Amino acid sequence: GEDVEQSLFLSVREGDSSVINCTYTDSSSTYLYWYKQEPGAGLQLLTYIFSNMDMKQDQRLTVLLNKKDKHLSLRIADTQTGDSAIYFCAESLTGTASKLTFGTGTRLQVTL
Amino acid sequence: DTGVSQDPRHKITKRGQNVTFRCDPISEHNRLYWYRQTLGQGPEFLTYFQNEAQLEKSRLLSDRFSAERPKGSFSTLEIQHTEQGDSAMYLCASSTAQMNQPQHFGDGTRLSIL
């Protein structure tokens, strides 16, 4: 079955790197996504990675995928107060081409 | 590119009333999705359309829920005889029809049932 898990909370100091982790159970995942949600708002797509890739970098964001362990991480370099939000990991599965299955989200708190 | 637009942003209603939400997708996106997000949880898939055809519905979509996309552009989600458990954020997303193209979300409609 589909199950995506994330830790609930992460606190980092401004300027440090943040690493948000996600594990998934379905080996037929094709794409894995990271979304950001600020209070009262919808989800903002940050980045996504195809399951045959190991890494993707986009400015301050680095995504690492360990397909053997079904582990996905999002690293934010030089974390800023504006990065404070909830971060969701999501997967789409081979053959569905439609719905996303989301984790419960990780709340990132950036302190001064 | 104006993004996905949802209306209203907030809806407060009494239990038992009917409510309808609207979603306008990004133009030229022929796929449209509805999700529900309760407090402290990630979004859960409800249904999706390709053009005007409703291709998949979740078991979360009870008989009181109906979604339409009559002309393949905007979509409406109606909830009849609302219950307190319907209180949630209802999110709409759109994408192109290419395999696994990312979904872009609107800001959602927050529904509160009194």
- Say which DSSP state B103 is in: P
CA distance B83 to B112: 10
CA distance A31 to B15: 39
Q: What is the CA radius of gyration of chain B?
A: 13
Residues B44, A102: C-beta atoms closer than 8 Å: yes
pLDDT tens string A18-65: 999 999 887 777 789 999 999 888 999 999 998 888 999 999 999 999
CA distance B114 to A44: 30
User: What is the distance in angstroms between the Cα of A23 and the nearest Cα belonging to chain B?
Assistant: 14
In this prediction, residue B100 has a pLDDT band, given cuts at 50, 70 and 90, of low
Average pLDDT over residues B31-51: 94
Residues 24-83 of chain B with CB under 8 A from chain A are 31, 33, 35, 40-45, 48, 55-56, 58
